[in-house]
Amino acid sequence: AQNGILVKGGAHLESLGRVGTIAFDKTGTLTRGEFQVIDFQLIGNHSYTKTEVLEHLLLIQESSSHPLATGIVSYARKERVTQTSKQRNIMKLTNQFLLEGEGVVGTTTTGITIHAGNARMFNRLGLLTTLSTNDMDTAKKWSFDEEGSSTVGCTIGFMSIKGDIVCMYRLQDTVRAESREVITSLT
C-alpha cells in the first residue's frame, strides 16, 4: 500500500515473483492518447483538391470524440480548412454511423456518401483493390519501417467520397515522457 499498490492475499504477491512478461494497453498508458496526423496524401483517380478532401474529412469526423477523429480534425484545422456558412448549409450530414473497429460512414444532404476508417473497412467494402500499385506501395511503406517491422504507434486511415478512395493518412500517438523510465524500472 505504501507504493500505491494493494495486493489481496499472499498467494497473489508470491506469484508476481514468477512473472516474466507484462503487457500494457499502450493507448493512454504508455502514450498520451493524443494522435497527430504525420502523413496525408491524396490518392486515387479524382478531381478533388486537398482542401475539398479535408472539408469532407472534417465533416465526417468533427462530431466524434474518438482520439483518432480528434487528431484528424486538428490536422484539418491546422491546414486552415474551415467551412463557410454557405458550405455548411450545403455540406451537412443527414445520417452518420460508427462502424465499431473500422470507422465511420455518413451521407450528406446532397446524397454524397463518405467513408472514413481503417484498411479493414475499405477491404470489406472492396475499395482497396481499386488503388493503384503506387498507392498500395505507399500504404505498405507507411505501415512498416525499413527493416520490415510495423511502425509503432501508427494508424493508417482512408477516406472515400461516392465510393472512390480519395486520400490516406497516417496518425501517430505521442509517447509519454515517463514511459521509458517506467518500463526500465520493471526490468
First-to-last alpha carbon distance for the chain, in angstroms, is 21
Q: Which residue has the cell 451537412?
A: 92
Q: What is the pLDDT of residues 100-135, one digit of tens each?
A: 999 999 999 889 999 999 999 999 999 999 999 999
- Give the residue extent of every domain in the chain: 10-186
The dotted CATH code for 10-186 is: 3.40.1110.10
- Dihedral class, residue 119 (left if φ above 0, else alpha if ψ from -120 to 50, else beta): alpha
Q: What gap in Å lies between CA 76 and CA 131, rounded to an integer?
A: 23
**Whole-model pTM?**
0.77
Q: State residue 127's pLDDT score.
A: 95
Give CA separation, 33 vs 2, 56, 73, 85, in Å. 29, 24, 15, 32
Give pLDDT < 50 ranges for the chain: 85
Q: State residue 85's pLDDT score.
A: 47
